[in-house]
Amino acid sequence: MTLSEVYFYLIILIFLLFSLLIVTFSEDIKENKYYNRYFKITFGIGFIGAIMEILNWNYFCKFNCILITFSPFLTLLITKGIIKFYKEVFKREAFQMHRGELSDGIWVKNQGDVKNKWYNGWYTVNIFSFPFFIITTIFFIFEKNVC
């Protein structure tokens, strides 16, 4: 393995960890100020993947590098969609939980109530599972049809 490959995989790993950070601290996404900040950062990260693909610095199959580097952006959009879905459909705001307690974001303190544990628990499961399920499905579709 060359040093170029090591740097490539390290960059990809950092981008994937950023996706995990977005999902873990999704309470920040509820405020537009932080959502817009994350939106710009994640779109920039995805654009870096497109540049890597153009420069042919890719050790994956065609377009998988772009998909993986855009995964934080897709995670952000999917998470925001879940937040809006719960707010519009169930007519009340859901709050993320961790080990039976409310989970805070990086900048935002969770001001929810713990009395709706089932509702908030289901919301938390959806926040964590949907982005990874959707991105993994897209990845396998690309893998099967493009490679």
Q: What is the pTM of this model?
A: 0.85
What tens digit of pLDDT does each residue of 86-126 get? 889 988 887 787 777 766 666 666 676 677 778 888 888 99
Query: What is the C-alpha to C-alpha distance for residues 116 and 134, in angstroms, rounded to an integer?
Result: 27
Q: What is the pLDDT of residue 105?
A: 63
Query: What is the C-alpha to C-alpha distance for residues 49 and 130, in angstroms, rounded to an integer?
Result: 23
Q: Could you say which residues of the chain have pLDDT below 50?
A: none
Name the packing angle between helices 3-24 and 71-89 (round to 10°): 10
Q: What is the pLDDT of residue 102?
A: 67
Q: What is the pLDDT of residue 79?
A: 92
Q: What is the pLDDT of residue 107?
A: 63
Q: How far apart are the first and last CA of the chain?
A: 22
Buried (b) or exposed (e) across 3-25, using 16+ Cβ within 10 A? eeeeebeebbeebbebbeebbeb
